[in-house]
């Protein structure tokens, strides 16, 4: 059985949701503490949503220096699948595993909604079971989800097919190019603002579209073995 680590930072609030989603989708969820220097031999890592370190200084800026992140960065650079959800996406940007940065939502208020997304690429470890052009519904909840990058970085993301998800039916936070999620060039690191872990069972979400993230990475890991 695949082992997927879920990191808990001080201020994380969706770590248990992510762990539950991992278990529901057929893998073993392994809790990883922010102060640990071991990934406990996991096969993939999820950086969950929340407010790591209270979002002091800048969202994700302090979490980036947690001991566990040294291991996550090393593993990601070696090809391990890493998924950053909301605050986890912010941490990935602060860790320079993904380019760009997050700022306050354009409307200057917290957004909480069932958000429609379009899948722009399935050439990643976390999206391989989606079809390009699929339109999905995933819960979105953030106050600093406005993705920004310089023109050269945006051009590179577009040309390299690194935009994974794009907002449709309106841009909820002002992100450049309607970007909801991106990947690194290798395709093993994905960050997105919406919360797929909240869309894995009928009780808590308007769709089951979140399950495809987990089936994708489990399929990738199984094929690799």
Got the DSSP string for 10-44?
TTB-SHHHHHHHHHHTTSEEEEEETT-S--TT-SE
> What whole-number distance in Å separates Cα of residue 142 and Cα of residue 176?
16
Catalytic residue among 25, 34, 144, 195: 195
Q: Let me know: does 216 contact 128? Beta carbons within 8 Å.
A: yes
Q: Where are the alpha helices (DSSP H) in the chain?
A: 15-24, 67-77, 87-94, 151-159, 211-224
Among 59, 120, 197, 198, the one annotated catalytic: 197
Known catalytic residue at 195 = yes
Point out the catalytic residue in the list 25, 34, 59, 86: 86
Q: Is residue 86 annotated as a catalytic residue, yes or no? A: yes
Backbone phi and psi for residue 33, each to the nearest 5 degrees, phi listed first: -85, 140
Q: Which residues are catalytic?
A: 86, 195, 197
């Amino acid at each position: 059985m695949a082992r997927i680590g879920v990191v808990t930072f001080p201020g994380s609030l969706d770590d248990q949701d992510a762990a539950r989603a991992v278990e529901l989708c057929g893998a073993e969820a392994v809790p990883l503490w922010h102060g640990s220097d071991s990934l406990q031999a996991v096969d993939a890592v999820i950086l969950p949503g929340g407010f790591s370190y209270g979002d002091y200084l800048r969202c994700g800026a302090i979490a980036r220096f947690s001991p566990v992140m040294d291991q996550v960065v090393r593993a990601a650079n070696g090809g391990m699948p890493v998924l950053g959800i909301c605050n986890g996406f912010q941490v990935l940007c602060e860790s320079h595993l993904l380019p760009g940065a997050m700022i306050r939502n354009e409307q200057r208020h917290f957004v909480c909604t069932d958000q429609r997304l379009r899948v722009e690429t399935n050439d990643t470890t976390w999206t391989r079971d989606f079809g390009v052009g699929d339109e999905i519904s995933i819960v979105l909840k953030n106050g600093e989800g406005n993705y920004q990058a310089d023109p050269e970085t945006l051009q590179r993301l577009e040309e390299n097919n690194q935009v994974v998800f794009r907002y449709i039916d309106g841009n909820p936070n002002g992100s450049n190019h309607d970007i909801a999620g991106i990947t690194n060039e290798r395709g093993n690191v994905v960050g997105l603002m919406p919360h797929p872990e909240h869309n894995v069972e009928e009780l808590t979400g308007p769709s089951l579209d979140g399950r495809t993230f987990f089936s994708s990475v489990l399929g990738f890991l199984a094929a690799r073995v």
